[in-house]
Every structure is written in structure tokens, then in C-alpha cells.
């Protein structure tokens, strides 16, 4: 059974997906549920994911999918085509535990425009555990605007799962000629590697296969808001 806030969030996500096809942002979810901070949203998302009601889509920023809805009796039921997720009778509030935080290495800035030299300086970035799946992760600060159509903005922190294997169409950290790193869509074409931006103002970058080494795949994003 779900709590009232979990029901509200599930209904809000489902309605937004039905109306626009795009998951709401954490800021929008916080405002919709009248929560004081986004840490409350992280806890609710984690709870819904653990219970099998939603899942995060890999390699897509801010992407959620509703798998099940709550029926009127409060039991889990397969999601149907309806926009409306009915409420159950509100349960007594239970104290929420503090969100789990994982510290991962922060390796400087990575280009999302043209490739730049990857910085080796290492710091630590605390990340909500709900944003990461299994495996080893690290973070890079995004520089440039060539991935804005994928929802990746200048100054974002790219959360990267460390791997040397990637499929066509995935967003990867690509090491170019052993010295420059860039964040792009990876595609293989006629024995070559094409690194595609997500901004019509930029051209794809094409390299020989031995000039590119995959260093990780995008697993999530963190964004700072300045006032």
C-alpha cells in the first residue's frame, strides 16, 4: 500500500506523462506536492521505485515510466491507459528517514560542445543514492551547450557509470585520441565512430574506431539553481 504523498506523486507523474510525454522535474514535483525540499521527492521516488510502481529509464535525463497504479483498495495493479490514479484512504504519517547519500569522485569539467582536455583534479560530490543504480560511478561538470536538446545544460553535473562498453544511441563519456573527453551520443557507422551532439547548431564528430575509448555512460544529472 502507498502513503498519501506517494499516491499524489504517482498521479502527478502519470498525468504529466499522459499530457506531455515528458517526466516532470524534481522541482515541479516538489511544488506540486507542497514539499519543503527536493530531498522529500527523492525519498518518494525511491519508495515508488522499490515497490515497482515506477522505473527510471536509462540514459535519458529526467525520464520516469509508470509501471503500476494503485487501485481503490490500495493494492498494486497493472497500469492501464487512464490518466487518473485514484486515492486510497490516507494512512497515518510515518517518520521519513533521511535520504541515503553516496559520495562519488568529481573529475573536473567535460565538454558538451567541442572536446576539451579532461581535467584530472579530483573532488568528492555527494549524490542521493536514488539517482544511481548498481556499479561504479563518477561525476563530471558539463561545459557547453551542445547537449541541451537532451536536457543537459552547461554547469550540470553528469553522473556517469564507469564502463568501456556502450550501445549505439547511448550518451557516453568518450575519450578522444587519449587526451580529450566529451559527452555525446555514440553511434557506429561504416567502421567509424560518430559522436552526435543534441543541438542543431553543432555538427557530428567522426573518428576512427581506435581513436575513441568509452569511459562511461550517462546515468543521471544533478543541477544547481542560482538566484
User: Which CATH number does the domain housing residue 144 bear?
Assistant: 2.10.109.10
Residue 95 CB partners (closer than 8 Å, separation 6+): none
Is 37 in the active site? no
Examine the fold and report which residue of 16, 46, 78 is the final residue of a domain before the chain moves on.
Answer: 78
Residues 125 and 211 in one domain: yes
In the numeric block, the cell 547519500 is attached to 101
180 with 108, same domain: the answer is yes
Which pLDDT belongs to residue 41?
A: 79
Q: Of 22, 6, 12, which Cα lies nearest the Cα of 151?
A: 22
Q: CA-CA distance, 67 to 193, in Å (whole number)?
A: 35
123 and 74 inside one domain: no
- Are 105 and 171 in the same domain? yes
Catalytic residue among 30, 161, 184, 217: 184
Burial class of 64 by CB neighbour count within 10 A (0 to 12, 13 to 18, 19+): buried
Instruction: Report the percentage of the chain scoring pLDDT > 90.
Output: 23
pTM value?
0.54
Place of cell 556499479: 135
Note if 146 is an active site residue: yes
pLDDT, residue 224, reads: 74
pLDDT band, very low/low/confident/very high, at 169 (cuts 50, 70, 90): very high
- Residue 133 and residue 198 in one domain: yes
Cβ(222)–Cβ(42) below 8 Å: no
Q: Quick: pLDDT tens for 155-166.
A: 889 999 999 999
Q: How far is residue 131 CA from its own chain's centroid?
A: 7
pLDDT of 76 higher than 70:
no
Residue tagged active-site, from 30, 146, 161, 217: 146
The pLDDT tens digits of the residues spanning 131-157 come to 887 888 988 888 888 899 999 998 889
Q: Which three cell numbers stand for residue 77?
A: 495493479
10 lies in which domain range? Answer: 4-78
Report the C-alpha gap between 222 and 220 in whole angstroms: 7
Q: Are residues 121 and 210 in the same domain?
A: yes
Higher pLDDT, 166 or 125: 166
What is the number of structural domains in the chain?
A: 2
Residues 11 and 119 in one domain: no
In three-state secondary structure terms, 59 is coil
CA dist., res. 182 & res. 195, Å (int) = 9
Q: Is 141 found in the same domain as 209? A: yes
CATH number reported for the structural domain that contains residue 35 in this entry: 1.10.10.10
Half-sphere exposure of residue 116: CA atoms within 13 angstroms, side-chain side: 13
**Is 145 among the domain residues?**
yes
Q: Are 183 and 218 in contact (CB under 8 A)?
A: yes
Contacts of 58 by beta carbon, 8 Å cutoff, 6+ apart:
133, 217, 219
> What is the C-alpha to C-alpha distance for residues 39 and 49, in angstroms, rounded to an integer?
15
Amino acid at each position: 500500500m502507498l502513503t498519501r504523498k506517494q499516491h499524489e506523486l504517482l498521479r502527478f507523474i502519470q498525468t504529466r506523462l499522459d499530457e506531455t510525454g515528458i517526466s516532470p522535474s524534481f522541482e515541479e514535483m516538489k511544488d506540486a506536492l507542497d514539499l519543503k525540499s527536493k530531498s522529500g521527492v527523492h525519498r518518494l521516488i525511491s519508495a515508488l521505485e522499490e515497490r515497482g510502481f515506477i522505473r527510471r529509464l536509462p540514459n535519458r535525463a529526467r525520464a520516469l515510466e509508470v509501471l503500476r497504479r494503485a487501485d481503490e483498495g490500495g493494492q498494486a495493479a497493472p497500469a492501464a491507459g487512464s490518466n487518473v490514479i485514484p486515492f486510497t484512504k490516507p494512512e497515518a504519517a510515518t517518520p521519513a528517514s533521511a535520504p541515503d547519500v553516496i559520495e562519488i569522485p568529481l573529475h573536473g569539467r567535460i565538454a558538451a560542445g567541442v572536446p576539451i582536455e579532461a581535467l584530472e583534479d579530483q573532488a568528492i560530490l555527494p549524490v542521493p543514492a536514488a539517482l544511481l543504480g548498481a556499479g561504479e560511478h563518477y561525476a563530471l561538470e558539463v561545459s557547453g551547450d551542445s547537449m541541451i536538446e537532451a536536457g543537459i545544460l552547461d554547469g550540470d553535473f553528469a553522473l556517469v557509470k564507469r564502463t568501456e562498453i556502450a550501445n549505439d544511441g547511448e550518451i557516453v563519456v568518450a575519450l578522444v585520441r587519449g587526451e580529450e573527453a566529451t559527452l555525446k551520443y555514440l553511434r557506429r557507422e561504416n567502421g567509424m565512430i560518430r559522436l552526435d551532439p543534441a543541438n542543431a547548431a553543432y555538427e557530428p564528430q567522426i573518428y576512427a574506431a581506435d581513436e575513441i575509448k568509452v569511459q562511461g555512460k550517462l546515468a543521471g544529472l544533478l543541477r544547481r539553481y542560482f538566484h
